[in-house]
Structure 1
Amino acid sequence: MIQFIENPLWKARGAISTIFFCYGLTFASWASRIPSIQEKFSLSEAELGTLLLMLPIGSFISLPIAGYLVAKWNSFLVTRLSILLYLISLIAISLSENIFLLGFVLFLFGLMGNMVNIAINTQAVSLEKEYKKNIMASFHGMWSLAGFFGAIIGAIMIGNEVILQYHYTIIFSASIVASVISFKFLIKSETDENEDKPIFAIPDKPLLLLGIIAFCSMMCEGTMFDWSGVYYKKVVNAPKDILGLAYTFFMVSMAGTRFVADYFTTQFGVKKVVFFSGVLNFSGLLILILLPGKIISLIAFFIIGAGVSSVIPLVFSLAGKSKTMSSSVALAAVSTMGFFGFLLGPPLIGYLASWLNLQVSFSFIAVMALCVTILATQIKSNSNS
């Protein structure tokens, strides 16, 4: 038992899982208080949508920066620095007293979030190579689990009228302690032979394909994060006391499926798992749009959660094994496209809902899910590991 605990691979896996959890908890803490921020600054839906655009802009700007820094300094250093700055930016959100300062801080929040995203996924890819088997989905399961707990904590804070500064200070304090403890167990050097690969390069066709799949899938995921409760309320007409079930069914399904996704990938291969995930996602959204009943909608949210769960871990894992550029740069390209979709989806749905209606706007997300299914057929069939 002691040898098991002392195994450096298990220590690294625990440390990387911890950073994923803190990363997810921080983002969920921000997202859970969006209504509080909207109320504080008296923002309309369109104004809120514009404000939310600052995150994907920051994320997009970080693309060349993050890939370069991880390739140049290695993910060990960038992970430690970026998670600290990401946590500090969460505190800065709560201290912003005007909309312009908040917009700038959200830009930094998006930029640092993608830095963490690229650096910690590079760590995960390196460890996966050491394990010589699929373990990426379990790390993303920790992110999802943190998102679930972050939403619950946020709901409790709102219910007890805890101000934003106190809420975010609690999250910051717990996450900073956990992150710092895990730092010394992170992988200190990548196994990737990056010296033979360019730091800057235009993504080739396979990487571009993975990036588009990530974009479509994470747009669905981001929409569920911010709009599932609103949809359940306004379209399904669910009573107030069960509105949280929509998000809960989605998150429980997504987190749970991620913890078993590595097994199914080993059994059936990446191509089949991504294809079937797209089918599940599209089917769930179709049910949600066409049959918006209280019970069947919860089943649909559960199906959607299972559909989006495996796509991102698998495409990130494939990107990290790129033979044309370093792992960090390949991950930067693919993960930034995905994260951009994740952050762009919610404000886009807000705009579409204001022009049309929420139910019709979700049809656009269903098209994104269908794109995942179609594009999955183009993944190289030898990408099974």
Structure 2
Amino acid sequence: MTTTPSTTRPAHTTAWRNAVFATFALNGLGAATWAIRIPSIRDQLELSTSFVGYLILGVSIGSIVGLVLASHVIQWIGGRRTIAAMLLVCALALVGIGLGTSVLGSFGVVVAAMAAYGFGSAICDVAMNVEGAAVEKVIGRTLMPLFHASWSAGMVVGTTIGTALVFAHVDIAVHTIGMAALLLVGALLAPRAIPRVATHADTGEAVAHVSFRDRMAIWLEPRTLAIGLIALGMAFTEGSANDWLALGMVDDRGLENGQGAALFTVFTAAMMVGRIAGGPLIDRFGRVVVLWITGAAAAVGVALVIFVPVIPVAVVGIVLWGVGASLGFPIAMSAAADDPARAAARVSAVATLGYCAFLVGPPLIGLVGEHVGILNALLIVFVLIVLATLAAPAARPPRGARGRAAASEPAASESRG
């Protein structure tokens, strides 16, 4: 969903940008709320490692369903209404996770609630990335890493709150209901500044309706699939930390639940720092070079966490892991949205491929981790980092791409003088 500078006053553009920032932060806050409580949910429901994987699989299945439908929902009701409705779904799902764990003690209820969370979060994710790409083009500089930094900031706030509540032995239901209330307020307030009508950022003309057939045909585009591989590898890199880092440090390194949660908070903080610093680096060096450098950092970081059983070294590895994983997904989202006319469909397709990591990853790492340990199972992440890094050239903007995408790669901007 985009709005042209000629029809949007600067104050409205600023409000639109801030609304996108707020949406990213709320999405990150919600994700942190359940992720930080995985060890506690495991303990209260008395789950094995493989069953924790199946629990997280609920989020993954809901996410895949949501991503498949996302571009169609955005086309039907618009980004503004999509974001409001899906934040509401996420809030209700958090309530279900908390009550299902501490009041009902029901694995089935928690799985259903996590699936509902994944569904709402995934559709909201596509909508907010489409809006972010549109704002990026209107303002004329790389903003997507900053939007994703806002998501990481929401994660940092959420994990910090969650860590404190874990140490204080606060009930999971109290925690999730409190966070759900914040998401509900955000659902009512944040989308108000998002434009109702979609127009091209460079011409001011209304974005044409993209047919169902055209939206599905995007799945056959080689560049879109290659960008999807970048998203898949880096989403797996990020998501494996969200799902397994705290539990891996508890089970394989002998830390307490609170200490594992604290190390996960270090990871989310490193992600946030990488995304704050990423925009200027992308503008200067281009998407491809940045993907190569950050991919190498992530690979080294994951290797340190897996192979070095010394906690201070693991902390260094976690920082490299977080910084290295920070820019892959936002770069993939910007690359998918290079053509505003089909941004929603391409972002949806790339995000769907990325979220396949969340579908395959949790049970795969859980099942492998049952036999070799969670941290050793993270070697799968290392392999995917390498594959995503090798696919980096696909993120280079196509020749003649419009808006910010055309200026985001030095090789594509020589004519600017």
Distance in 1 between residues matched to 2:359 and 2:270, nearest whole Å: 21
Q: CA deviation at 1:352?
A: 0.9
Distance in 1 between residues matched to 2:326 and 2:246, nearest whole Å: 19
Residue aligned with 1:7, SS: helix
Tell me the equivalent position of 1:107: 115
**Equivalent residue for 1:206, pick from 223, 230, 233:** 223
**Equivalent residue for 1:361, pick from 362, 374, 377:** 377
**Residue 282 of structure 2 corresponds to residue 282 of structure 1:** no
**Residue 158 of structure 2 corresponds to residue 142 of structure 1:** no
Distance in 2 between residues matched to 1:128 and 1:350, nearest whole Å: 38
**Residues 1:136 and 1:195: Cα distance change in structure 2 (over 3 Å):** same
**Residues 1:199 and 1:48: Cα distance change in structure 2 (over 3 Å):** same
Distance in 2 between residues matched to 1:264 and 1:335, nearest whole Å: 23
**Residues 1:212 and 1:349: Cα distance change in structure 2 (over 3 Å):** same
Tell me the equivalent position of 1:185: 193
Residue aligned with 1:195, SS: coil
Distance in 1 between residues matched to 2:388 and 2:325, nearest whole Å: 10
**Equivalent residue for 1:231, pick from 245, 248, 261:** 248
Distance in 1 between residues matched to 2:99 and 2:305, nearest whole Å: 38
Aligned residues: 380
**Equivalent residue for 1:166, pick from 161, 169, 174:** 174
- With structure 1 as the length reference, what TM-score do the two structures score? 0.91
Residue aligned with 1:187, SS: coil
Q: CA deviation at 1:14?
A: 1.1
Distance in 2 between residues matched to 1:65 and 1:362, nearest whole Å: 30
Tell me the equivalent position of 1:371: 387
Does the 8 Å CA contact 2:218/2:346 hold for their aligned counterparts?
no
- For 1:44-78, what per-residue CA distance to the aligned partner results, in whole angstroms no more than 9, with x for missing partners? 22222112211111111223321111122221111
Distance in 2 between residues matched to 1:357 and 1:51, nearest whole Å: 18
Deviates more, 1:282-291 or 1:212-221: 282-291
For structure 2, list consecutive stretches of 5 or more residues without a partner in the other structure.
1-8, 201-206, 399-404, 409-417
Q: CA deviation at 1:89?
A: 1.5
Q: CA deviation at 1:345?
A: 2.6
Does the 8 Å CA contact 1:235/1:359 hold for their aligned counterparts?
yes
Residue aligned with 2:215, SS: coil
The CA RMSD measured in Å over matched residues stands at: 2.3
Does the 8 Å CA contact 2:57/2:362 hold for their aligned counterparts?
no
Distance in 2 between residues matched to 1:212 and 1:206, nearest whole Å: 10
- With structure 2 as the length reference, what TM-score do the two structures score? 0.85
Does the 8 Å CA contact 2:89/2:116 hold for their aligned counterparts?
no
Residue aligned with 2:113, SS: helix
Distance in 2 between residues matched to 1:231 and 1:95, nearest whole Å: 26
Q: CA deviation at 1:95?
A: 2.6
Tell me the equivalent position of 1:296: 313
**Residues 1:259 and 1:165: Cα distance change in structure 2 (over 3 Å):** same
**Residue 349 of structure 2 corresponds to residue 345 of structure 1:** no
**Residue 85 of structure 2 corresponds to residue 81 of structure 1:** yes
Give, as a single letter, the amino acid of the residue that structure 2 aligns with 1:190: A
**Equivalent residue for 1:249, pick from 266, 269, 286:** 266
Distance in 1 between residues matched to 2:112 and 2:355, nearest whole Å: 19
Deviates more, 1:340-349 or 1:215-224: 340-349
Distance in 2 between residues matched to 1:47 and 1:227, nearest whole Å: 13
For structure 1, list consecutive stretches of 5 or more residues without a partner in the other structure.
none
Give, as a single letter, the amino acid of the residue that structure 1 aligns with 2:269: V
**Residues 1:239 and 1:108: Cα distance change in structure 2 (over 3 Å):** closer
Distance in 2 between residues matched to 1:339 and 1:201, nearest whole Å: 19
**Residues 1:232 and 1:318: Cα distance change in structure 2 (over 3 Å):** same
Does the 8 Å CA contact 2:57/2:358 hold for their aligned counterparts?
no
Does the 8 Å CA contact 1:128/1:134 hold for their aligned counterparts?
yes
**Equivalent residue for 1:48, pick from 42, 52, 55:** 52
Does the 8 Å CA contact 1:235/1:292 hold for their aligned counterparts?
no
Does the 8 Å CA contact 2:163/2:262 hold for their aligned counterparts?
no
Give, as a single letter, the amino acid of the residue that structure 1 aligns with 2:289: K
Tell me the equivalent position of 1:261: 278
Distance in 1 between residues matched to 2:82 and 2:330, nearest whole Å: 20
Distance in 1 between residues matched to 2:293 and 2:91, nearest whole Å: 36
Query: Taking every aligned residue pair, what percent have the same amino acid on both sides?
Result: 23
- For 1:252-301, what per-residue CA distance to the aligned partner results, in whole angstroms no more than 9, with x for missing partners? 21101101211101001111111211111112122333333222211111
Does the 8 Å CA contact 1:127/1:187 hold for their aligned counterparts?
no
Distance in 1 between residues matched to 2:41 and 2:262, nearest whole Å: 23
Residue aligned with 1:43, SS: coil
Tell me the equivalent position of 1:271: 288
Tell me the equivalent position of 1:64: 68
- For 1:222-271, what per-residue CA distance to the aligned partner results, in whole angstroms no more than 9, with x for missing partners? 11123223333444456777544532332221101101211101001111
**Residues 1:353 and 1:235: Cα distance change in structure 2 (over 3 Å):** same
Distance in 2 between residues matched to 1:53 and 1:121, nearest whole Å: 23
Distance in 2 between residues matched to 1:103 and 1:244, nearest whole Å: 22
- For 1:130-152, what per-residue CA distance to the aligned partner results, in whole angstroms no more than 9, with x for missing partners? 11221011111011111111112
